[in-house]
Amino acid sequence: MFVLPGEPLEPATLPSHSTIPLKLGPGLLHIPPNTITPTVAGLLRTDKRKNAVWVEFNGGRYVPTTGDLVIATIQRSSVDVFYASISDYTPNATLPQLSFEGATKKTRPQLAFGALVYSRVSLANKHMDPELECVSSSTGKSEGLGPLTGGLVFNISLGMSRRLMLAKPGEQGGLVILDELGEQGAAFEIAVGRNGRVWVDSKSLKGTLAIGKAIQDIDEKSLKVDEQKKLARKVAREI
């Protein structure tokens, strides 16, 4: 359902749950006591299971939120903290040198300018610069986070990165490219950041470029499922 800023929402369009309170996602404003209005123009989406409602719009700006997984680029390092760039138009985020798996004061990770890191946003609010971490704060293990070596990073739109990060990209987001490439036998590693970046690594540079370009093409030309299958076959042949 398409909504505009300031449009009154009928209570019938909002999900209701017996026990869980209603969660408001991005793009909505709550005016006490019981008015909820959208603040951006986009599509209104609801999730009955989690009792959540939000407005989906494919904007260009990534706004850091706690718990997001992002691909950050190291800009410089100071005494005990790295400064990493999440997006071009925001100040650098800080990444403590000790929040890597197995890092102590004597053994710190050596990351130069331009190095890529897959990290989670640990602190993000409108008043302060965002902070990242490469280790899960509860278990102390990296769980897939950390520096990304080799490969190439590609820029995609925020909507595309959200679709790639869905639990079931094929059913929910209409994306079958990654499954198809796996079926065709292409060997590659991929990491998706919510800030509109995707990192691809394959055995050859040609393969890496082909896969990355394929994902960008699907994003720009909004290809459908059968077109994605055709593209996957073409890419697998090239590798």
Quick check: 37 binds another protein (CB under 8 A)?
yes
Q: Contact region for another protein (CB under 8 A) — 3-11, 72-80, 145-153, 177-185?
A: 3-11
What is the C-alpha to C-alpha distance for residues 24 and 50, in angstroms, rounded to an integer? Answer: 11
Name the residue with tokens 């005990």.
80
Q: Are 191 and 118 in contact (CB under 8 A)?
A: yes
Quick check: 8 binds another protein (CB under 8 A)?
yes
SS3 (DSSP) at 183: helix
Q: Are 233 and 220 in contact (CB under 8 A)?
A: no
Q: Contact region for another protein (CB under 8 A) — 35-43, 94-102, 105-113, 196-204?
A: 35-43
Which position among 49, 105, 106, 127 is part of the footprint of another protein (CB under 8 A)?
A: 127
Cβ nearer to another protein, comparing 2 with 206: 2
Quick check: 35 binds another protein (CB under 8 A)?
no
Site size for another protein, by CB under 8 A? 31
Quick check: 42 binds another protein (CB under 8 A)?
yes
SS3 (DSSP) at 160: helix
Cβ nearer to another protein, comparing 49 with 127: 127
What is the C-alpha to C-alpha distance for residues 229 and 111, in angstroms, rounded to an integer? Answer: 38
Going from the C-alpha of 127 to that of each of 67, 83, 194, the distances in angstroms are: 17, 18, 21
Quick check: 40 binds another protein (CB under 8 A)?
yes
Name the residue with tokens 């640990």.
122
Residues near another protein (CB under 8 A): 2, 4-8, 27, 29, 37, 39-43, 56-61, 89-91, 126-127, 159, 163, 173-174, 222, 224
